[in-house]
Structure 1
Amino acid sequence: MEEEAGDIVLHGEAEIMVKTLRHIPLNKIGSKEWKRQHEYLNKLNQQAQLNVHAQVSDYISEAFAVTHEIKTLVKDLLAAELWREKVVPIMIKTKDFAPKSTIPFYLSMYNEAVILNLLETISFNAEVIETIGDLAVDLVDYCYRTLSLLYAQHQNGVKHDKPDGDQTPRDIYNNFITSMFLEYGPKCITILRYLSEAGKGIPLDAHTRIIRKLNVPQLLVALMEDGCGWIESDRFYISGKWHKKTDPLSPHETGILLLLRQLLTCEDFSSYEFHQQNISALMRVQKYLTPTVLQFCSPLNDLNTVLSQLQVSPPDQAKSYSLLIESEPELRDEMIQEFKDAYPSLAKSAMTSWAKPSFEQTQRDAKELVKMWQIDRLEQLMNEVPKCEVCGAESENRCSSCKTVWYCRRQCQIEHWAEHKKICDMLKQR
């Protein structure tokens, strides 16, 4: 592929960046090394998205296939998950933690989203998945935990409409959990599908864990039948916004059913426990496979055929099944064991150092963010007209200084200037 001048990460740079990736443990989050790696991951993620959008050769996934560094992504993903679960709650409950800038605090959580999004994108490449080895089991469990948590939140009535305001660390956290975290669900579905499609490219126990031990088919039926936070009857949540459903299936419903199709048609499904509860759950999927749906997504005809066969001739209840040697997801447990008594000290250290930046550091952070995000290039991925920062109307003009904020008319820009001027100078100094 020819390198384009506008690319965020050129072909040659990608492999160098990927080769420099190293697992950053929990106690190094926020460090200079962590910040540099977050920048690399963010740029790699953006370029991978641009490559998909432009339908060109994805040299980002090729770099991961060569270096086997998907293992580093999985390790850092689990560390980011523990940070969100164990350390951040301590920080937001500390009354005197009121930093002038919450950018570093937000990025410490956002790093998980970057890694998960990058994993979803590069996992399409079977050669990348084949390098994951035993860590496939850890990635399977991360996806299952995340989907189960989001399902439980939905059943408990957790609202996922974006809250107003995000001034304090607690506001930032609540905003993150009710908006950004919601997008993890569809990504985990996609990753599980790519892992399932890998066949012998990943360890057998990863497949049996998905199908038998965790009973992912049962969870998928629950997500379709009882609902999940990112899907509603007439709309679906993606890229931070709700979109109206115009097709027989939303993209997320399609993803769930395609994963179920993959699981029910793979060779490893013979290990599934065909007891009455599981069979009854699978049969309830048939009501979604209408002629219109099957015409809209033809691969689902395979799922419909399998379910029809199960209905006519249910298999005998599975006999006891076990592998001689079965891998367990040990990596998260190892991290918990290593840091189980250190969460308060990690939170305290962060709140007195990098998570409470000075004005000068805030300026540097703002400049680095602008460079990192390459806003002009990322606008290629936008499928909608920019909205005015003040009134929300469609806009064609933006601030001539920082070029990051949009306005529909001069009056809106004047009204917003008192607030915008605080960061405009920082943003324009690239």
Structure 2
Amino acid sequence: MISNIISQEEIDLFVQSIRKYDIEDIGSKSWCEFHEILIKLSQQAIIEASEHREEIVKELLIIHDKLPDLIHGVYTIVVWRAKVLPKLLENSDLPASFFIYTILYHELIIISLLETVLYHENSCESLGELVLDLIDYCVNGITQLIGLIHSGVQNLIEKNIELSTIDELKIHQNEIIFNLAMKDITILSYLSDKISTLSVSASRRLTQTHDVPCLLAELLTLRPWLRKTKNFEKFIDGKWKIVEGDEILKVSKVEVQTWFCLRNILFHRETFQQYEINAFRQRELGKCSALLNDVILDQLPPLIELKQFLCTLQVSQDIANGLNNLILEVIPEIKDKIIEKAKRTGWKNIIEKHKKLFVDMKENEVVEIAKRLSDAYNFEFMADFEEQQQVKNKNQTENETIRCCSTCSKPAEKKCSRCEVAFYCCRECQVKDWILYDVDANTKTGYLVPEDNCGIEIDI
């Protein structure tokens, strides 16, 4: 077990120090200190979750009601990216370009922390009506990624080309947008899984305000987590890794979350009743049924029901569901409040202040900030932790590939072609399991199985 980044006493102090920052405060000394605190809290939360320990960071964030402040912090960077950053990039000379990258990375740190803690139901429930702001943020992040893919931006990155500082910064920005979108998918999956405990408006936000199922269908078609350069590469644990052979066909974590998010929305009563199935949606969602091949279903048996549903959906008439129900919907306010406050301060004043900070920074100030940030990121510690996790995951994967016979528990390679879940080592074991299998198969697939014989054979 790896040691803590910070002690329990420090965690409590750091969590209590979290507060809202305005756009004009970004880059200030107090903001940089806050950035360092978030880095340590995020790293500590990842360690606690990965090692299945008591998640102190998560509990304290809920107790001190700091999740709203984190969502506010994310939107502050979003507005800064849209309103201030383009003005800074008009300057050809940016001596502190790494500092701008730090501001962009700040958003990724907060989302990484939210991704870790929102795995738990009590974290999602504690969001209250702010879950709408988070849903809006995640949907916008995924939409932005799809836009980048369609515009071909991801294919323009060439490692051997000499780039200007501005171009390098833009590439880093696109990389962060990609990483954010991958985490947005996971967060949406967590929220959709716990939709019954969330605000009533959350289900309408996912289905009516935003057409999240069709958005996910587009993602599953594009498969942004897989790319072909000189080799096949998959986005695994926040990094692009070369994959070969069977690894290419193995479903990545992000792809799993995308499928499960779609399944949650279509199978949960709270969301499906709010979702009108028209001809366009039938066509878009129908594309996913073709993607659910045997390779994916073998790895993710719960998706068998989803494929059956999608196939049925393609030949069904339009489903209106309960769209006429009158509900007073809460409107997200965080982004609008941030923009309104910035307007009162004056965009011109904010931009001038940040030009002095990011463009006119002295060399000694650049060196000092770079050193502080390097210490905060603690690269060596996290590299050791990642190495340990990779070894752990490899051992776990090797254990998972050893399939056992459903009857005698001996190693088995032959899978039942009906339920696509049970494995048998021989024909005799399958026959012995027929009586129990009849009940199990009915439960898993919903198909009727003859009582005298399951009628399924495997070639041994």
Q: Could you tell me how far 1:43 is from its partner in structure 2?
A: 0.6
Are residue 39 (structure 1) and residue 41 (structure 2) matched? no
Q: Is the 8 A contact 1:162 1:179 kept in 2?
A: no
1:78 and 2:75 correspond: yes
| 1:60 counterpart SS class | helix
Using the aligned pairs only, state the percent identity.
24
Aligned to 1:158: 153
Q: 1:333-365, CA deviations, whole angstroms, 9 ceiling, x for partnerless residues?
A: 222233258334322211213654323323322
- Work out which of the residue numbers 302, 306, 309 in structure 1 matches 2:309: 306
**Secondary structure, in 3 states, of the residue corresponding to 2:4?**
coil
TM-score if structure 1 supplies the norm length?
0.81
Q: Distance in 1 between matches of 2:40 and 2:330?
A: 33
Aligned length: 379
CA distance in 2, matches of 1:313, 1:167: 53
State the partner residue of 1:20: 17
Spell out, residue by residue over 1:43-87, the C-alpha distance to the aligned partner (whole angstroms, 9 max, x if none). 111112222333323221122121221111100100111111211
Please give the root-mean-square deviation of Cα atoms over the aligned residues, in Å: 2.6
Residues 362-382 of structure 1 show CA distances to partners (whole Å, capped at 9, x for unaligned) of 332233123212233212333
Give the AA of the match of 1:281. E
Amino acid in structure 2 at the alignment position of 1:157: G
1:262–1:162 Cα change, 3 Å: farther
Give TM-score scaled by structure 2 length: 0.76
> Which of the residues 185, 202, 205 maps onto 2:201?
205
Q: Which residue of 2 aligns with 1:258?
A: 260
Q: Which amino acid aligns with 1:213?
A: T
**Residue 181 (structure 2) aligns with:** 185
Query: Match of 2:226, SS?
Result: coil
Task: Pick the aligned partner of 1:349 from 353, 377, 389.
Answer: 353
Which residue of structure 1 aligns with residue 234 of structure 2? 236
Residue by residue over 1:296-348, the C-alpha shift from the partner in whole angstroms, topping out at 9 and shown as x without a partner, is: 01222232243244346556334643542101222212222332583343222
Pairing partner for 1:359 from 360, 363, 388: 363
Contact 2:104 2:176 in 1 (8 A): no
Alignment of 1:135-154 (within 5 A): 135-154=130-149
Q: Which moved more, 1:255-264 or 1:235-244?
A: 235-244
Give the letter for the 2:304 counterpart: N
Which amino acid counterpart does residue 115 of structure 2 have in structure 1? E
Q: Is the 8 A contact 2:97 2:358 kept in 1?
A: no
- My pick for the range that moved more, 159-168 or 193-202, is 159-168
Deviations 1:121-176 (A, max 9, x none): 11112111111111111111111111111101111111253656898651342122
> For 2:316 and 2:136, how far apart are their aligned partners in 1?
32
Q: Distance in 2 between matches of 1:177 and 1:171?
A: 10
* Conserved 8 A contact 1:183-1:230: no
Aligned residue runs from structure 1 range 13-412, under 5 A: 13-95=10-92, 97-99=93-95, 101-159=96-154, 161=157, 169-225=165-221, 227=222, 229-232=224-227, 234-238=232-236, 239-244=238-243, 245-268=247-270, 269-311=272-314, 313-314=316-317, 316-318=319-321, 320-340=323-343, 342-353=346-357, 356-383=360-387
Q: What code does the residue aligned with 1:257 have?
A: W
Report the alpha carbon displacement of residue 187 of structure 1 after superposing the two structures with TM.
0.5
Going from structure 1 to structure 2, the CA distance change for 1:190 and 1:323 (only over 3 Å counts) comes to farther
Counterparts of 1:361 and 1:5, CA distance in 2: 34
Deviation at 1:201, TM superposition (A): 2.6
Given that residues 116 and 184 in structure 1 are in contact (C-alpha distance below 8 angstroms), is that contact kept between their aligned partners in structure 2? yes
Separation in structure 2 between the aligned mates of residue 12 and residue 167 of structure 1, nearest angstrom? 45
SS of the equivalent of 2:273 reads helix
- Taking the aligned partners of 2:359 and 2:29, their CA distance within structure 1 comes to 13
Contact 1:236–1:252 (CA under 8 A) maintained in structure 2:
no
Code of the residue aligned with 1:241 in structure 2: it is W
Mark the CA change 1:98 to 1:186 in structure 2 (over 3 Å): closer, same or farther. Answer: closer
